[in-house]
Structures are given as structure tokens and as C-alpha cells.
Amino acid sequence: MAPTILCVGMAGSGKTTFLQRLNSDLHAAKKPPYVINLDPAVHDVPYGANIDIRDTINYHKVMDDYGLGPNGAITTSLNLFATKIDQVLNIVEKRSDQYSNILVDTPGQIEVFMWSASGQIITDAFASAGPTMIAYIIDTPRCTSPATFMSNMLYACSILYKTKLPMIIVFNKGDVIEPTFAIEWMNDFEAFQKTLYADHEDSSYMTSLMNSLALMLDEFYNTLDVCSVSAVAGTGFDEFFKVVDKKVEEFNVDYKAERERVKKVKEEREAKRKADDLERLLKDVGVEQKDPMDVLSDLEDDEEELQEPDDEDNLQNRYQQALKDSQGERAAIEKILKNQDLEQ
């Protein structure tokens, strides 16, 4: 299947505009993508979606029917959509040879998708079908503060280790401010530390915390690919597509093998569980068979003990006795009937 790009990010980071620009650039290059919208609450999208969750699930009706708030309704809508993800993948795979990429737009509430069961099901389904990667969109102007920058990096780190998929850090809105400062902070710990102490002179606790987090994330930064784009101006997307090709190769070499290993471990664990259940069942059945009341062979032995020797003399004596008994009963019945006739 064609490579899948899952666009995630905080609300206002420009995910939808970014995806719209990806869509238009690929069409301009005669490489049309397959576009999927998974945001049930969006009023309008600036691109034509091949599959739109709003076509099958009415977000406002879900909210009214279940008495939910906005986030709860989005989660429930995704849960309903996830039950049909196999059908969605079948549709996508049938048309995969006609498209260069699969672009997936996710809800603005990042936690609703990334930390929900339905989000995990959808992500794993795409990853099982073909190369899949996460494009984490960051609002560059809002990251000029070290605290906001660190919050975005922690989000990215948690998403990476939760999905176990290749990730691209995309600093969006490069036309407003160049993300050179953020890239420098990722590559140079001392540069981040210098800015941190300058902005938080009066908050020793916050400074110490972010300083420790920056040290912890230093290794995390080394595994990331970063690019700067402007979804409005359309700059930086050639570099982004180069990174996408790199991530496809990375998925096939590293992540695919790891996912197959995890899948094999799960299958072995499930097979062991079934074997243990079968062993317990056989053990329970064996305990019941030891009960003398349930053993057929014991009942047959009891019947054999009650039987008398089957010789001709005993058989003849039993027959004669039975005949006498039946004759006596018949005579008694006839006597009773005769007395009743006399009385009448």
C-alpha cells in the first residue's frame, strides 16, 4: 500500500492547512494522494477528501443522543468509525496503485486521537497495511518560549514511543518566524539552557525542571528528522517529501521488523494462554472423572455384583415363583370383582 502520513498536532498548529498544501503540491506534480478526514467536528475542509468521517457519522447527533460534550462526542465518533476501519482499508488498498500517498487529517484535540483506543486501532491498522509515519505539526511562533517548546517536544516524545512509528517534526508557519532558534535548541543544549535561564530568572523550580527535561530529550532529538515549512506560502515542502522517502525506507528496515517481532510475541503469548486454558480444562475434567458417582464403569461393576449366578436351576426357580405370584394376583382381582357384582 502507498505510504501513509498521519498529520497530528495541537489545535491551531495548522494541520489542515498543511495537509491542503500537501494535497495541492502532489496534484501539481501529477502524483495525486488519497485523502482521509478523521475530524468529525470540522465545519469545512479546504481539500476534497476521498473518505470523510462526516459522511457516515453526524457529530452533533452523537453529542445529542449520548449527552456528550465536544471532546466526548469526537471520541465516540472515532470509536464508531474505528469499527469500520477494515472496510476503509479494503477501499484504500483497492485504489492504492492510483495514488502516491495516503494523507490522514486528525482532530485538533490531539489527546482525543493519540490517547484513545480508537486512535490506536486506526494507527495500528494503517501501520499493518503499509509504511506509516507521523507528521507532528508545530506552531513555530508559539514555540519562542522555552516552556512551550518543551511542551511540544514532550508531546512528540510521548507520541513516538506510543505509536512506535517514524516521526517527522514539522515546524509550520515559517513565513511568520523562521524556526532556526528551535532547531538550534534541539542541536545545542547550551543554547537552550542560556535562553532558559534568561527567561526564567525568578523561577528556579521551572528552570531546573526544564533543564532536566532538555537533558533527557537530548537522545530523543538525535532520532528525529526536522523540517521547516510554511503551509500558506508553500515553502519547504520539497524537503519534507525527501524526509518522507527516508521515513518509508526507515519503516521497512527498522519499524516493520520491530512490529513483526511484537506481533510474534503477542501470538506466542496468546498461544500459551490457550494452551494453559486447555490444560486447566483437562485437569478439571480429570478431577470430575475420579468421582465414583460419575464413573460408568463403577456402576457397571455394582450391577455385576448384584447379579446372581446365571445357571439353569436358579433361572427355572425364578420363573416358577414369578408365575405363582402372577396367578395369586389374578385370583385376588377376580375375587374383588365378583364381590362387587354381588353387592350391585
280-315 pLDDT, tens digit per residue, is: 888 877 644 444 444 444 444 444 444 444 555 565
State residue 320's pLDDT score. 67
Residue 309: phi and psi, rounded to 5, are -55, 135
Q: Is 37 helix (H, G, I), strand (E, B) or coil?
A: strand
Digit-coded pLDDT (tens) for 244-257: 999 999 888 888 77
Distance CA 35, CA 118 (A): 19
Alpha-carbon gap, residue 137 to 157, rounded angstroms: 13
Candidates 80, 77, 65, 219; CA nearest to 157 is 219
Grid cell of 58 as nine digits? 453526524
Quick one: average pLDDT of 90-117? 90
* Residue 246 grid coordinates: 527516508
pLDDT at 71 over 70: yes
Is 4-256 a domain of CATH 3.40.50.300? Answer: yes
Better-scored residue on pLDDT, 290 or 118? 118
User: Does residue 324 or residue 58 have the better pLDDT?
Assistant: 58
Q: How many Cα atoms sit within 13 Å of 170 on the Cβ side?
A: 36
Q: Are 34 and 102 in contact (CB under 8 A)?
A: yes
pTM of the model: 0.75
Enter the C-alpha cell of residue 96: 492504492
